[in-house]
Amino acid sequence: MASSNTMRYAALALLCALALAARPVNAAGLYKWTDERGGVHYSDQLPPEAADKGTVVLDKQGRQVKKIEPAPSPAELKAREAEDERQKAMAKAKDERTRRDMALLQSYTSAEEIDLARARALSAVETQLKSAETYNAELAKRLTDLEKQKAALAGKPVPFALENEISSVSAEMARQARVIALKKEEMASISARYESDKRHWLEIKSDQARTAAAEAAGANASANAPAKPTAAKTSSGNSATATR
């Protein structure tokens, strides 16, 4: 795709150069151009083979009146395309930051509101975490009882039901341990996200305050600047300078 665009731009640049070359020069004017070997030529018309090499248009006194840049090479066109894409990506990222900033400012009117929102979000997950921890503690007690029953057999065959329950409780405890770990990670992520939002919200507000202060200072400076003396008209209609 990029190669196709490069070829298309190169063809367009060459056509533009040829079109400029086809235009007549001002009366008694000349084209000054340089060939591949560095030889300088003057002519009243620019030959097609020199159209993409750039030229200088001179008037009849030999003064430069126009400079036609050489057609960009495929490498230059490719670099230009890359720069255009980079600029587009930067503009897109800037628009996205602006959109997020506006959403943040519209969501909260103070830093305290962000703290309250964080507390609400953490509370919901914390409830789930405590429930999982309580359940896991009950499983641990049950597993301890089962292990005691197994130990009480003193080497006798362990009933299938007992062995099966020990295995089931152990597996469930492992699952709950994973749930507990995930909930703790979720809480840490929530705290970090709201802390980042709060920090950025404060930065935006600080920037706004500095901008407002600078604008106010500029307005005050303009208002307090001494007025320039103006010319006063005399009764005869002539201008007279202001007296000191």
Q: 33 — phi, psi (to 5°)?
A: -145, 160
**How many CB atoms sit inside 10 A of residue 138's CB?**
13
Q: What are phi and psi of 236, to 5 degrees?
A: -85, -5
Taking 60 as the threshold, does the pLDDT of residue 244 lie above it?
Answer: no
- Which sign, positive or negative, has the C-alpha torsion 171, 176, 178, 181? negative
**Residue 186 near residue 125, CB atoms below 8 Å:** yes
Mean pLDDT calculated for residue range 22-32: 56
Average pLDDT over residues 217-228: 79
pLDDT score at 154? 86
Looking up tokens 């602006």, which residue turns up?
98
Contact indicator for 13, 73 with CB cutoff of 8 Å: no
Q: Distance (Å, rounded) from C-alpha 88 to C-alpha 127?
A: 46
pLDDT in the model for residue 45 = 76
Give the pLDDT band (50/70/90) at residue 24: very low
Q: What per-residue confidence (pLDDT) applies to 98?
A: 93
Which token pair is 200? 């950025």
Q: What is the pLDDT of residues 41-95, one digit of tens each?
A: 777 777 777 667 777 788 777 788 888 777 777 888 889 899 999 999 999 999 9
Q: What is the pLDDT at residue 130?
A: 97
Please name the residues in contact with 125: beta carbons below 8 A apart, sequence gap of 6 or more: 183, 186, 187, 190
What values do phi and psi take at 64, rounded to 5? -70, 130
**Of residues 48 and 194, more confidently modeled:** 194
In whole angstroms, give the CA distance from residue 132 to residue 126.
10
53 vs 140 pLDDT, higher one: 140
pLDDT value, residue 125:
96
Q: What is the mean pLDDT of residues 186-206?
A: 96
Q: What is the DSSP letter of 47?
A: -
What is the rounded average pLDDT of the residues 227-239? 53
Residue 17 has pLDDT above 80, yes or no: no
Over the chain, what is the mean pLDDT?
A: 82
Q: Taking the domains of the chain in order of start, what are their residue ranges?
A: 2-74, 109-217
Strand partners, 232: 240
Question: What would the pLDDT profile of 148-184 be if each residue is shown by its tens digit?
Answer: 999 999 888 999 999 999 999 999 999 999 999 999 9
Helices (H), 23-73: none
Three-state SS at 70: coil
Q: Look at residue 27 in the predicted model and tell me its pLDDT.
A: 45
